[in-house]
Chains A and B, each alone.
Chain A
Amino acid sequence: GAVVSQHPSRVICKSGTSVKIECRSLDFQATTMFWYRQFPKQSLMLMATSNEGSKATYEQGVEKDKFLINHASLTLSTLTVTSAHPEDSSFYICSRGYQETQYFGPGTRLLVL
């Protein structure tokens, strides 16, 4: 069964609004979780590492003020896309690791109009 969940699965919002995406580790506590974005027909691009109890680590080129990450508890990480614009439309996926393997959530499709 699924070990990582995401909510919502799809979201449509107007330009300028903020959108929050939740990622939950269902089977055990995760001090570290990862956020990716994926454009159509492309591979995953790591955006940031979410760390419970400390600040997220962002990959080069990812705006930390644009993509706010909060690791609220050992089972929940949230990604907030602030002041979303159409170019932020993408598929956002989270993951958490366990024994040399990453387990992914089902993804969230964001469409900004």
Chain B
Amino acid sequence: TQLLEQSPQFLSIQEGENLTVYCNSSSVFSSLQWYRQEPGEGPVLLVTVVTGGEVKKLKRLTFQFGDARKDSSLHITAAQPGDTGLYLCAGGPPNYGQNFVFGPGTRLSVLP
């Protein structure tokens, strides 16, 4: 069974601080996605990474896929209250017929 772990589970920081969220597994994934979910809404895709070692930037967010495609990180620079939400990583199945695997999420709170 493929599992994804995320750390930390909860994070409360002040506006302007930097933070990194980690997504780890012992399994290899064909791709990895990061989503942000706000209360009462569905998850919204932030990024998809597919190549080991890949780094993608989305404004103040930097995403990295591990070389072995087993882990990923999300770094936020100068966090803002609007970044508050549940951050989910999801691994794309390495084999056809398998399902996406979701991490338990990191709940981020950015205080003004």
| Contact surface of A with B, Cβ cutoff 8 Å | 4, 6, 34, 41-44, 46, 49, 91, 93, 95, 97, 99-107, 109
Question: In the complex the two chains form, what is the Cα distance from A102 to B73 in whole Å?
Answer: 19
Q: Is A100 a contact partner of B99 (Cβ separation < 8 A)?
A: no
Give, as a whole number of angstroms, the nearest-CB distance from A48 to chain B.
10
Question: In the complex the two chains form, what is the Cα distance from A107 to B37 in whole Å?
Answer: 11
Q: Which residues of B contact A42 (CB under 8 A)?
A: 104-105
| Contact surface of B with A, Cβ cutoff 8 Å | 30-31, 33, 35, 40-45, 48, 50, 86, 88, 90, 92, 99-100, 102-105, 107
Given A43-B88, A44-B43, decide whether A104 and B35 contact each other with a Cβ distance below 8 A: yes
Q: Is B92 a contact partner of A49 (Cβ separation < 8 A)?
A: no
Q: Is A100 a contact partner of B40 (Cβ separation < 8 A)?
A: no
Nearest B-chain residue to A3, judged by Cβ: B45
Question: In the complex the two chains form, what is the Cα distance from A93 to B50 in whole Å?
Answer: 25
Q: Beyond A101-B33, A106-B42, list 7 extra A-B contacts (CB 8 Å).
A: A34-B99, A34-B100, A100-B33, A101-B31, A104-B42, A104-B43, A105-B42
Nearest B-chain residue to A103, judged by Cβ: B45
Chain A's interface: helix, strand, loop or mixed, by majority? strand
Question: In the complex the two chains form, what is the Cα distance from A109 to B30 in whole Å?
Answer: 32
Given A100-B30, A101-B48, decide whether A93 and B43 contact each other with a Cβ distance below 8 A: yes
Nearest B-chain residue to A104, judged by Cβ: B42
A-B contact list, 27 entries, CB within 8 Å? A4-B42, A41-B107, A42-B104, A42-B105, A43-B88, A43-B102, A43-B105, A44-B88, A46-B99, A91-B40, A93-B42, A95-B42, A99-B48, A100-B31, A100-B33, A100-B92, A101-B31, A101-B33, A101-B48, A102-B90, A103-B45, A104-B35, A105-B42, A106-B41, A106-B42, A107-B42, A109-B40
Q: Is B104 a contact partner of A43 (Cβ separation < 8 A)?
A: yes
Give, as a whole number of angstroms, the nearest-CB distance from B24 to chain A.
15
Question: In the complex the two chains form, what is the Cα distance from A106 to B38 in whole Å?
Answer: 10
Q: Is B41 a contact partner of A49 (Cβ separation < 8 A)?
A: no
Nearest B-chain residue to A10, judged by Cβ: B40
